[in-house]
Amino acid sequence: MRDEKIIVTGDIISHHARTKLQERGVEIDAIAEIVYDLQHPYAPNLTMVECVESVDAVLVKREIQHAILVGIELDVLAEEGRLSEPLLSLITGDESLFGIDETIALGSVFGFGSIAVTTFGYLDKEKTGIIRKLDRSTDQVNTFLDDLVCSIAANASARLAHRLRDRDEAETKVVIRKPEDEELIG
Ligand SMILES: [Ca+2]
């Protein structure tokens, strides 16, 4: 037991979560590309900058950062053989009935509403872009990481969908309001 309690600030957690993703080969742009592919059919004017911004906003959430730290730590410990059996074999073998990798990632999806939950399910099944690359990698253990990326992308995509709808509605309101304004002038 430690005598002194170390206070871990949000800055430290955020920095570590981002660094860990990068160390494991996951760049923000690669997640943003998945978000772009998901949202572009509904928003033809969507830019990659908006997708990157949405991924960044998701990575600010403490719940996501914690999930990233726990998941990647377990992947790395398994890779280095530093877990006890049978957990070690369950993680290194990416045992399909294990399910804790999905549970941790799914836990951080609920904060972004039902669209995020369904998108997570879709990405987990389709494994697009970097998710497929992680899933097929033989260089490192990505049992937790592939699900974490599904979660980040699903959250960023859902967040963007809500924002784009808000923006559309705000624009429509201006159009609707116009005749009223003109009447008032008269
Ligand atoms: Ca997995």
Q: Residue 3 domain-assigned?
A: no
Q: How far apart are CA 113 and CA 96, in angstroms?
A: 26
Ligand 1 center from residue 110 Cα (angstroms): 18
Ligand 1 center from residue 124 Cα (angstroms): 8
Q: Residue 57 domain-assigned?
A: yes
- For 89-140, the DSSP string reads HHHHTT-TTT-HHHHHHHHTTGGGHHHHHHHHHHHHHH--THHHHHHH-SSS
Ligand 1 center from residue 105 Cα (angstroms): 9
Q: Residue 144 domain-assigned?
A: yes
Backbone angles phi, psi at 43, to 5 degrees: -140, 85
Q: How far apart are CA 120 and CA 157, in angstroms?
A: 10
pLDDT in tens, the chain (186 residues): 566 788 888 888 999 999 999 999 999 999 999 999 999 999 999 999 999 999 999 999 999 999 999 999 999 999 999 999 999 999 999 888 899 999 999 998 988 999 999 999 999 999 999 999 999 999 999 999 999 999 999 999 999 999 988 888 888 776 655 555 544 444
Q: Residue 4 domain-assigned?
A: no
Residue type, 137: S
- Residue 59: which domain range? 10-185
Ligand 1 center from residue 10 Cα (angstroms): 27
Task: Say which CATH number the domain at 63 has.
Answer: 1.10.3760.10
Q: How far apart are CA 117 and CA 177, in angstroms?
A: 35
Ligand 1 center from residue 90 Cα (angstroms): 11
